[in-house]
Each structure stands twice: as structure tokens, then as C-alpha cells.
Amino acid sequence: MEEAGTGFKKKTFVVWLLVVAVVLTLYLTNQDRIDVDWIRGVVHDNRVLIVPFYLLLLSLLGLTFIPSTPFAIAGVFLFDPTFAYLLNLVGIITSSTIVYHFAGFLGLREAFENRYPEKVARVRSALDRKELPIIVGWSFFPVVPTDLIIYVASTLKIPLWKCLLGVLIGEGALNAFYIFSVNAAL
């Protein structure tokens, strides 16, 4: 069963990379048809509706374990890059806080421990030794779910502030790279 899970993860990652590559390629080859300034203008005119919806979406992603990277990149098309980055940081904080507080309520403990018992045990063992550096590193690595480290940290009673700081450093750096790189390509 572990082999099937690993194969699924690899296929999901490849599909994710292909979608991002196709979207960027379509934009770069059709810049005359896709006007980012027009999109940003529409978003700016409807900011009262779009910003809360975007933040709500980012905040709830942690419950679905859907990667936030495509939404961070989409944010570049919708908002000024600095504003998109700040919105993504707020989304990271709220999503991580939700996962931290509701891990037990949502049954994540049982789901992770039943599905990935060895991985959860290894993460717990490592976290017992070096909490913050592991949370930062885990959050920076794009192919592992940040929500998993938040769940484990919450079950180990690692303080929320330490989890949020680690996630902000790790995912903040990763999102900065994504958002400002895509914006430079626009």
C-alpha cells in the first residue's frame, strides 16, 4: 500500500508542475490576449468581495490538504505582488491556526496515524529534538504538506506561536519566491 501512496504523490506532484507550467506558458505565449492590468483593475474595483473570498479560500485550504502554491501564483494575476504576498501570509497564518486547533476535532490524528504511522513517529521523534528548525524546513519544502507538521506539532503541544513562526519563515520564503518570480515573468 505504501508503494501506491508514493506513486500517487509523485503523479500528483508531476500534474501540479505541469498545470503551473501550462498556465505560465499560455500566459507568456498569449500576452496580447491576456491583460494582467485589466484583471487587476476588475479585482481592484471589486476588492470588497474578492479579498475576503480569497482569504477565506486560503484559510480553508489547510483542511483539504490542497497545496496553496497555485493560489499564491493566481494571486499575482489578481493583486499587486506585494499585496498578494501579504494576503498569502495571512492565509498561511489562519490556515495553520485552524489546523492546529481543530486537528483533534477533525479526526486528523487518527487519519494520519492509521495511514502513515511510521512517518508520524519519525516526525514526532525529530520534533522532540529540534522543533523550530524542523517546522521551518518542512514548511519550505514544497512537496510535503505543511499541514501535517502543524498537526503533529499540535499533538505534541508545541506552542502555536512557534508553529506559526516556523511556517511563516518557511512558507513565507517559498511564497516570496513563487510570487515575485512569476510577477517578474509577467
Distance in angstroms (rounded) separating the CA atoms of residues 182 and 73: 7
* 133-158 residue pLDDT tens: 999 998 998 778 888 888 888 877 78
Question: pTM score, two decimals?
Answer: 0.73
* Span 75-134, pLDDT tens digits: 888 888 999 999 999 999 999 999 898 876 766 667 777 887 888 788 778 887 888 999
Residue with cell 529540534: 130
Taking the alpha carbons at both ends of the chain, their separation in whole angstroms is 43
Type of residue numbered 176: A
Residue 133: count other Cβ atoms within 10 Å of its Cβ.
Answer: 13
Confidence check: pLDDT of 6 > 70: no
Question: Which sequence spans correspond to the domains of the chain?
Answer: 35-185
Per-residue pLDDT of 7-63, as tens digits, reads: 666 776 677 678 778 877 877 787 777 777 777 888 888 889 999 999 998 988 877
Q: How confident is the model at residue 162 (pLDDT cuts 50, 70, 90)?
A: very high
Burial class (CB in 10 A: 0-12, 13-18, 19+), 63: middle
Burial of 83 (0-12, 13-18, 19+ CB in 10 A): middle
| CA separation for the pair 62, 163 (Å, rounded) | 14
